[in-house]
Structure 1
Amino acid sequence: MKSNIVKDKSFEFSLKIILLFKTMQDQKGYIISKQILRCGTSIGVNIAESEAAQSRSDFVQKLSIASKEARETIYWLQLLDKSELVDVEVNTRIDDCNEIIRLLTSIIKTIKSKL
């Protein structure tokens, strides 16, 4: 089976988000942890859904939603960092998320140019 870089990276990112969620729960960061878990894992879900897209347009739509979720995840991670609500390091997760956004943006632009 052919490797899918953006799918693999988003899956690994989801695992990191789940670990962050567990850490935040231990430190009583309940509200933001749930938001980060929801949007951070949604990136990979939407990428996975794109594999069953009914058309190129549907494919672009699913990847666009994944990109929006990634941007929301970065927002929550930055908020978590600045609020000092819990003691966690988020910069590598922000970098990982930005990499996923770059990949998604590239894929979306390529597909749109072929529509």
Structure 2
Amino acid sequence: MKENIIRTKSFNFSVKIVKLYKSIVAEKKEFVLSRQLIRSGTSIGAMVRESEQAESRADFIHKLSIALKEANETDYWLDLLKESDYISDLEYNEVKEDIGEILKLLTKIFKTSKSQ
């Protein structure tokens, strides 16, 4: 069976986000922005998983569109946390590349699915 790249990347990203969240809460005692990050960052993988069991093509596209929106939101929270000095350049760079790849993959899958 062929590996589902977006499934793997979104799950691994969720693990990184959980670890980053734990670090922000423990070290910086920041609870509001970090909560937004963990919610949107882990939602991406959850929606990708839900799309695997979609009831129709339209349902599949809808679930992926939600995953794409969550990925965009996560990208925003990462930028905000970095610019407000809640996460270091190193922490930021470790997840920024990942979210960029996920955004590209989801965009391509979404556009391809809509055009068929």
TM interval, shorter chain, is over 0.9
- Superposed displacement of residue 86, structure 1: 4.6
How do residues 98-109 of structure 1 correspond to structure 2 at under 5 angstroms? 98-109=100-111
RMSD of equivalent CA atoms: 1.2
Unaligned runs of 5+ in 2: none
Q: Residue deviations 1:40-80, cap 9 Å, x none?
A: 00000000000111111110110010000000001000000
- Superposed displacement of residue 92, structure 1: 2.7
The one-letter code of the counterpart of 1:31 is: V
Instruction: Write the distance in 1 (CA, Å) between the matches of 2:114 and 2:70.
Output: 20
TM-score (norm 2): 0.92
Q: Percent of aligned positions with the same letter in both sequences?
A: 52
How do residues 18-57 of structure 1 correspond to structure 2 at under 5 angstroms? 18-27=18-27, 28-57=29-58
Number of corresponding residues: 114
Unaligned runs of 5+ in 1: none
The one-letter code of the counterpart of 1:73 is: T
After TM superposition, the structure 1 stretch with the greater mean CA deviation from structure 2, 37-46 or 103-112, is: 103-112
Please tell me whether residue 14 in structure 1 is matched to residue 17 in structure 2: no
